[in-house]
Structure 1
């Protein structure tokens, strides 16, 4: 495998490789981590290094990879930090110079990768250039965008081109929206009958740990809120025919309500709903399966904490809505958010105490009808509870899930839905072992109660 290897020499222009790596002439790297110097990118670099080490030592399967970004020095510092955090030798990891402002450098980077792990956000600003480079140069692509305008816009604009190129472009591969997507997949697999609806309650336990969020996450969320008007136009063009109305439609919960069975106060926060909806569109349009209704809530056991969070969300939405307030938010994030968002991000050691749990409650029928267009006569009579849990959702769990999706494309490309396309995780990975990979890396996905 390593015959005809080349020594990769320091380049004079971006898009070329800076240091030695063991890759055969004409062969692609399995992964290129783009944006490796960012706060999330650093976690992804460390997770890739651990996964590569595990595959080599436990399975004798090599994994070749590189880091990419604008600055050679910062990329080398990222690898040095990863060596310190993981204790692994990363001397043979290559460094590629690539800049979102230079399309040629993105093309050269994509041409050297089987899967680009894209950590450069906000994706509404920078994501399309990387997606285009991947499609034009035959590379698969995963990202952690939670921005519906970007995700649905890429499907509208590039789905056919990605299918033709035979590459999978899969967004929302982090905390947005893997827990929701794999939770529903696991529920479908274990539900004895047919699902009608799923409610998801997400809780985060800090126990004195640092819950500060990096400003990159803030900027992505702010732009998603600011550009809400675009999503209607995109969806009308992407899905001109609405889904059929279910006979047993689940009533929309209030913006703040209590689930007595779980003992949780739920705050309506539909960040994953657009992704889940696209998955359900595929299930109905392409697989002729009944679409599942979905509602999502951020939850806490304290009413007063829930009210405080709700007021904070309203304040943040207000700050994002107007251009002048949004500029203040971006310029003075720590002041305008009372320290919730910081340029420096959270303290890494303190983040280790943060945990999340997503509890999904499914309702449906014990019997399954033959056609998705058929309607049940009686109301749902069965339920199932599934939990998805893991470490700090913003960074540790997000990097874990993102790398797991990239590994799934790399190792199970033939099992990923279709030959390619722009799709959701719930579509792309429905027939793969993604859940097994995530569990192997430390998360849990469990059926709690039938």
Structure 2
């Protein structure tokens, strides 16, 4: 905290504090502020003062911190009112944006932060939005000395920093990595507010419709090199002992943008990356295929889209829910992300043979959606506050890996329940055949 602008009223402003995820962020910031030795000044922001007051009341009761109700300031701000966003951003060093879907509501906050000198962090998992913000706002943010860092939650923080951790632990030149995500225990329920929206064009459906446009943009600007994986869409993983499919989230986009940054700015050899997620046994595969086909058909028609948003649990076999996960589901759920990498050992010339060394690393943590995500976001904010000198250049739009590669964020995350570790290393004779 000593290294930030002390003339501003607040170190952290949580925008969207009344949302389901925003409430968890409020709790985490309150806990971290109470644990710290420095004086952290923070505030909550959103459209409704009464709802923000209610969030502080419930947080104060849950954490036995009655002072929260009187000591924490409330800022009324709305994404549709530009002046209110400007006032909010003028009062905070770091804005934590928890208002999604970001493709609909994120850009006004990014723009307000840049224009008013506040650093911006979010938990976005929408590649279209993330890449467009970099295209349109990187130069502006750089000129204003503002950092805009998206995807500071699960799943991009474990994936992006997991690759960087693997690169650091590999003794030689890492060339390719495949990651496998496994959600363990009490079924994870995804809130419809994060995947669906009550607007005429829900975020998830909107993403599906514009997937081809997104692919064109990626190709046009060459943000993402092709994957090196030769795996089929669905295959049985011996390592995970279950069927896996390519991961459809933002991980590949985020990781590859980071790798491009490290290559261009630090002349590091880039890693080719493929991401997969476990789907379980044969019965789960059948449900997935049936659900995917059903979704593909329904999303093409207005009636189908309306049914998907009205009855998400029924049409997603319980994966999506308006109610969100219960406390027990959150407590019983955890994740593991395993990375299988290969490359060339120290002293080996990549031009003289095939990769001859392997490494397996892992990132594990608590429930991904509302525990790991919140920890990652808050620790990212503390990293900006305390290690601003270690961030690249003097501002700009970055991925987490690009922004935090020279900081101690991995150690911070390790101390807050997101553990990074090396599972195994293997080295073969130069030129010997290897496989992932």
Going from structure 1 to structure 2, the CA distance change for 1:343 and 1:318 (only over 3 Å counts) comes to: same
Counterpart in the other structure of 1:140: 119
What is the aligned partner in structure 2 of residue 361 from structure 1? 340
Structure 2: how far apart are the matches of 1:25 and 1:384?
Answer: 44
Q: Could you say if the C-alpha distance between residues 306 and 100 of structure 1 is closer, same or farther in structure 2, counting changes exceeding 3 Å?
A: same
Distance in structure 2 (CA, Å) of the matches to 1:188 and 1:314: 38
Among 38, 46, 54, the alignment partner of 2:19 is: 38
- Describe the shift of the 1:251–1:355 C-alpha distance in structure 2 as closer, same or farther (beyond 3 A): closer
Name the residue aligned to 1:394.
369
Residue in structure 1 matched with residue 263 of structure 2 by the alignment: 284
Q: 1:189 corresponds to which residue? A: 168
| C-alpha displacement of 1:324 | 4.5
1:421 aligned partner: 396
CA deviations 1:203-250 (Å, max 9, x no partner) are 1112xx35222111212433322221332343345338x85x8xxx83
Distance 1:382 1:25 in 2: 49
Query: What is the SS of the residue equivalent to 2:120?
Result: strand
Structure 1 unaligned regions, length at least 5: 2-23
1:313, distance to aligned residue in structure 2 (A): 4.1
Partner residue, 1:6: none
What SS does the corresponding residue of 2:103 show, helix, strand or coil?
A: helix
Closer, same or farther in 2 for the Cα pair 1:393/1:311, shift >3 Å?
Answer: farther
Asked if structure 1 preserves the Cα contact closer than 8 Å seen for 2:134 and 2:398, the reply is yes
Q: Indicate the residue corresponding to 2:191 in structure 1.
A: 214
Q: Could you tell me which residue of structure 2 aligns to residue 20 of structure 1?
A: none
Residue of structure 2 equivalent to 1:17: none
Equivalence for 1:235? 218
How does the TM-score come out when normalised to structure 1?
A: 0.86
Aligned residues: 413
Residue 415 of structure 1 and its aligned partner are, at CA, apart by 0.6
Asked if structure 2 preserves the Cα contact closer than 8 Å seen for 1:194 and 1:368, the reply is: no
Counterpart contact for 1:210–1:347, Cα < 8 Å: no
- CA 319–251 in structure 1, closer or farther in 2 if over 3 Å, else same: same
The equivalent residue for 1:380 is: 355
Q: Which residue of 2 aligns with 1:64?
A: 41
C-alpha distance in structure 1 between counterparts of 2:419 and 2:6, whole Å: 40
Contact 2:291/2:317 (<8 A) preserved:
no
Deviates more, 1:177-186 or 1:375-384: 375-384
Task: Give the distance between the partners of 1:413 and 1:25, measured in 2 at CA.
Answer: 14
SS at match of 1:211: coil
Deviations along 1:125-156, whole A, 9 cap, x unmatched?
00000000000000111111111110000000
From 272, 281, 298, the counterpart of 2:277: 298
Q: Is the 8 A contact 2:205 2:305 kept in 1?
A: yes
Alignment of 1:252-331 (within 5 A): 252-271=230-249, 272-300=251-279, 302-320=281-299, 323-331=302-310
